[in-house]
């Protein structure tokens, strides 16, 4: 299957540059299983599409202010570090810009508002990917320093300044660690969660720390040759139990976003049973994959030729997804992180062995 099979034309004006004033005011394209055309609804209609006994699974990761602007001690030249993955207490894998002179042994310092250096990064290693391993040296509390010195790492297609950091967080964000938001969750308000809970929808949590590899483009013509990034996840025992009880009672599992979908499919057996685990996943879901754990998927609109567009194409059918995208563009939906959303029902197609999606996590199972 070719990368070009997942291309579409998106007018730049369709890319949402800022969040709506009301989180829950977005539109929602609903694509039922087997439907020839989508329905055009509002996110506020979500309760009417769910049933008592369904289980809504959400990602409670929290985005950290992962973009740090520092300087070289020798010259004062600006250097940007983007935190990608925490390896040890003070060691991170980072993206450095400009990276051509950021060699092992070099240091970057980060001054506070008064000019005093509060944080220093020592480059330990240059990886084959071009990323760096750095060790941070600091006297104060790491979380406090990061909050003071860092900014939110908004996606490159967003060009306007974000006035309120919390608008790039879900209202239920809890565990620090993501470099990007699980954006399907940005639509939820406390009132919506309360409505769903009161009507008998169970709400369960997991954590997947989203890395910027989510936005890494597919460069291989044959998508099966693409190497996925790995991301850390944790699915607790109570969530595994809630999913099992939902299945046993005939309810449906609703994944809030592709991050949740990837964790559940990583941990599901052939019968859709999901086990509790902590580890890393690099599962790649593309057309031909048979979903085992997820019945409905709430998701935003995704970039052309991206792995996330391939995932939703696997879930609901490539032709139906691309036709729905064209209709959404014609109807002036807002796209990407701060845009509108889709609710997709799983479309059962022929099962195909997806070699790249082995789904075996590392870490403690």
Query: Does 210 share its domain with 287?
Result: yes
Give the CATH number of the domain where residue 292 resides.
3.40.1780.10
Domain final residue pick, 151, 185, 218? 151
Range of the domain at 172: 3-63+164-345
Q: Which DSSP helix (H) or strand (E) runs through 192?
A: helix 190-198
Tokens of 323: 């036709």
Tokens of 343: 């609710």
Domain final residue pick, 151, 183, 211? 151
Query: Does 126 share its domain with 228?
Result: no
Residue 318 lies in a domain: yes
Whole-number pLDDT of residue 358: 35
CA distance 329 to 26: 15
Residue 365 lies in a domain: no
Residue 207: pLDDT band with limits 50, 70, 90: very high
Number of domains comprising the chain: 2
58-113: per-residue pLDDT in tens?
999 999 999 999 999 999 999 999 998 889 899 999 999 998 778 999 999 999 99
Please name every residue paired with 138 in a beta bridge, in sequence order, or none if there are none: 119
Query: Does 278 share its domain with 193?
Result: yes
Considering only CA atoms, which of 11, 52, 60 is closest in space to residue 175?
60
Query: Does 175 share its domain with 223?
Result: yes
Whole-number pLDDT of residue 354: 39
The angle formed by the CA atoms of residues 187, 331 and 299, to the nearest 5 degrees, is: 30
CA distance 267 to 55: 16
Task: Tell me what percent of the residues of the chain surpass a pLDDT of 90.
Answer: 84
Weakest mean pLDDT among 4-8, 91-95, 292-296, 351-355: 351-355
136-152: per-residue pLDDT in tens?
999 889 999 999 999 99
Residue 214: pLDDT band with limits 50, 70, 90: low
Residue 157 lies in a domain: no
Whole-number pLDDT of residue 362: 33
Domain final residue pick, 117, 151, 185? 151
Query: Does 23 share its domain with 120?
Result: no
Considering only CA atoms, which of 149, 139, 135 is closest in space to residue 90?
135
Q: Return the HEC string of 284-344.
A: CCCCCCCCCCCCEEEEECCCCCCHHHHHHHHHHCHHHHHHHHHHHHHCCCCECCCCCEEEE
Query: Does 208 share its domain with 230?
Result: yes
Query: Does 169 share its domain with 250?
Result: yes
Neighbour tally for 172: CB within 10 Å: 17
227-244: per-residue pLDDT in tens?
898 899 999 999 999 999
- The answer to whether the CB of 154 falls within 8 A of the CB of 16 is no
User: Per-residue pLDDT averaged across 152-164, rounded?
Assistant: 91
Whole-number pLDDT of residue 249: 97
Measured between its terminal Cα atoms, the distance across the chain in Å is 33
Query: Does 170 share its domain with 311?
Result: yes
Residue 144 lies in a domain: yes
User: Greater confidence, 49 or 101?
Assistant: 49
By three-state DSSP, how is residue 268 classified?
strand
Query: Does 186 share its domain with 274?
Result: yes
- The answer to whether the CB of 133 falls within 8 A of the CB of 104 is no
pTM: 0.90
Please name every residue paired with 40 in a beta bridge, in sequence order, or none if there are none: 29
Residue 351 lies in a domain: no
Residue 159 lies in a domain: no
Neighbour tally for 44: CB within 10 Å: 18
Residues recorded for the chain: 365
CA distance 283 to 332: 32
Query: Does 228 share its domain with 173?
Result: yes
Give the CATH number of the domain where residue 103 resides.
2.40.10.240
Considering only CA atoms, which of 97, 94, 83 is closest in space to residue 143?
83
Query: Does 40 share its domain with 86?
Result: no
Whole-number pLDDT of residue 356: 34
For 317: left if phi > 0, alpha if psi spans -120 to 50, otherwise beta; the answer is left
Residue 359 lies in a domain: no
357 pLDDT more than 80: no
Considering only CA atoms, which of 85, 310, 355, 65 is closest in space to residue 210?
85
Q: Return the HEC string of 38-70.
A: CEEEEHHHHHHHCCCCCEEEEECEEECCCEEEE
Residue 55 lies in a domain: yes
Long-range contacts made by residues 105-113, C-beta under 8 angstroms, separation at least 24? Answer: 106/72, 107/72, 107/73, 108/70, 108/71, 108/72, 108/73, 108/79, 108/81, 108/134, 109/70, 109/71, 109/72, 109/73, 110/68, 110/69, 110/70, 110/71, 110/149, 111/70, 111/71, 112/148, 112/149, 113/148
Query: Does 71 share its domain with 143?
Result: yes
279-317: per-residue pLDDT in tens?
999 999 999 999 999 999 999 999 999 999 999 999 999
- The answer to whether the CB of 136 falls within 8 A of the CB of 90 is yes
- The answer to whether the CB of 185 falls within 8 A of the CB of 23 is no
């Amino acid at each position: 299957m070719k990368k070009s099979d997942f291309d579409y034309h998106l007018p730049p004006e369709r890319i949402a540059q800022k969040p709506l004033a009301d989180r829950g005011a977005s539109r929602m394209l609903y694509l039922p299983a087997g439907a020839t055309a989508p329905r055009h609804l509002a996110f506020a209609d979500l309760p009417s599409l769910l049933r008592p006994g369904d289980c809504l699974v959400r990602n409670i990761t929290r985005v950290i202010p992962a973009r740090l602007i520092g300087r070289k001690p020798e010259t004062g030249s600006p250097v940007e570090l983007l935190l990608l993955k925490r390896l040890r207490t003070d060691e991170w894998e980072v993206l450095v810009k400009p990276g051509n002179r950021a060699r092992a042994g070099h240091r970057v310092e980060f001054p506070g508002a008064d000019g005093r250096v509060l944080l220093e990064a020592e480059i330990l290693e240059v990886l084959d990917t071009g990323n760096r391993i750095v060790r941070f040296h600091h006297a104060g509390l790491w979380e406090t320093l990061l909050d003071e010195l860092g900014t939110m790492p908004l996606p490159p297609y967003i060009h306007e300044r974000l006035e309120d950091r919390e608008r790039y967080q879900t209202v239920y964000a809890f565990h620090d660690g993501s470099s990007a938001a699980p954006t399907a969750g940005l639509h939820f308000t406390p009132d919506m969660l309360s409505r769903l809970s009161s009507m008998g929808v169970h709400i369960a949590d997991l954590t997947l720390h989203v890395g910027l590899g989510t936005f890494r483009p597919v460069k291989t013509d044959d998508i099966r040759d693409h190497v996925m990034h790995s991301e850390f996840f944790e699915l607790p025992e109570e969530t595994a139990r809630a999913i099992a009880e939902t299945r046993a009672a005939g309810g449906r599992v609703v994944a809030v976003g592709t991050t949740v979908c990837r964790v559940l499919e990583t941990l599901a057996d052939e019968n859709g049973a999901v086990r509790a685990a902590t580890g890393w996943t690099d599962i790649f879901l593309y057309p031909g994959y048979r979903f085992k754990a997820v019945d409905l998927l709430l998701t935003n609109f995704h970039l052309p030729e991206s792995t996330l567009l391939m995932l939703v194409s696997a879930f609901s059918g490539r032709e139906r997804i691309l036709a729905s995208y064209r209709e959404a563009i014609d109807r002036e939906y807002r796209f990407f992180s701060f845009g509108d959303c889709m609710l997709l029902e799983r479309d059962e197609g022929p099962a195909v062995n997806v070699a790249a999606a082995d789904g075996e996590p590392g870490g403690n199972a």
